[in-house]
Amino acid sequence: MSTAALQPVLARPIRRSVRRIGLSAELLPWLYILPAVLAFGVWIYEPLIRAFMLSFYEWNMLPFSPQKWVGTQNYSNIFALQKLWQALGNTAIYVVGLLPMSVAIPLAVAIFTHDLKGRWRNFYRALIFVPMIIAPVVAAAVWRWLLDPQHGILNLALQGLGIAPIDFLGDPNFAIWTIILITGWKLIGFATLILSAANANINPSLIEAARMDGASSWEIVRDIRLPLLSSTALFLVMMTILLGAQWSFTYINVLTAGGPLGSTTNIYYLLWDFGFSSMSVGWSSAAAVVLFVGFSVIAFGLFRMIERYSFYDN
């Protein structure tokens, strides 16, 4: 069998069959994105719609128990819960408390370590990036030891200084800030990495031009670096607002379970708690829908802002 004879035979029917599927020129592009659409549909949109529907039902998640239509009652119920308002308030505290560690400090570190050389560069990198690569549950366990009110090294140190031991995870005044600090400690490396990359991407001749124009180091940071890093910083702000509650989930779950007295719970932990502890799927779904709508609005606004502060240098 000669390949020369084979080729037209193979080529023609395929081309014809594509044509027969018809309107192929219009359809073909959709075919290409079909896998992605399917994945999005199955793992994101379908659950979203399912959650939206479930938020109008009462159900305990047992496969054979009936789902009972309750209208908007789940919503009125959860909004009547003091717990929800506490979680929403805490979510705001988490976000605001995380921002210095997810944006401000990394921004400063990225800018001020930009010119570091050799050994110091490696040193600071190790310092900053090590927390990032520790598994969250392991980190949580280690922090529990360190923070133990009786035997934790931190409290031993405080005692050495003559300060009464603090129950970092058990005292409602301290617990949320402890969780925020641990979450931030874990986050700082990632944020620094992103901002360092953005900072290193700034065309060095812009900095030289500014030096020639007479700008001092601080003026260069203020007038050149910060404006050019603003879109990346805003991106991190957005990530913190949208995901801050999720990032702290592991530490809440392992260290405080939302306590004491709900002082460390947040909206994300609460909806998990509704669903998987209280087994009330309707409440959990309603909380998820509220979360989704609220964060969508915020994300939309932030995206607009990022767009506005992106400067393309070519």
**Nearest Cα residue to 42 out of 50, 32, 31:** 50
215 binding other proteins? (CB under 8 A): yes
Q: Are the C-beta atoms of 207 and 224 separated by less than 8 Å?
A: yes
Binders in 218-277 for other proteins, by CB under 8 A:
219, 223-224, 227-228
Q: Extract long-range pairs of 256-262: CB within 8 Å, 24+ residues apart.
A: 256/169, 256/175, 256/179, 259/175, 260/170, 260/171, 260/172, 260/175, 261/172, 262/83, 262/86, 262/87
107 sits near other proteins (criterion: CB under 8 A): no
- Six token digits for residue 171: 């005292």
Q: Is 117 in the site for other proteins (CB under 8 A)?
A: no
Positions 173 through 212 that interact with other proteins (CB under 8 A): 203, 205-206, 208-212
Residue 233 C-beta: closest distance to other proteins, Å: 13
Q: Which is nearer to other proteins, 30 or 312 (CB)?
A: 312
Give the containing element (helix H, strand E) for 69.
strand 68-69
CB of 149 to other proteins, least distance (A): 50
In the complex, what is the shortest distance from the CB of residue 229 to other proteins, in angstroms, rounded to a whole number? Answer: 10
Q: Residues 237, 99: contact at Cβ < 8 Å?
A: yes
Number of residues that bind other proteins (CB under 8 A): 20
- The Cα–Cα gap between 226 and 243 comes to 24
Question: Among the candidate windows 21-29, 131-139, 217-225, 249-257, which touches other proteins by CB under 8 A?
Answer: 217-225
Interface residues toward other proteins, by CB under 8 A: 203, 205-206, 208-215, 219, 223-224, 227-228, 311-314
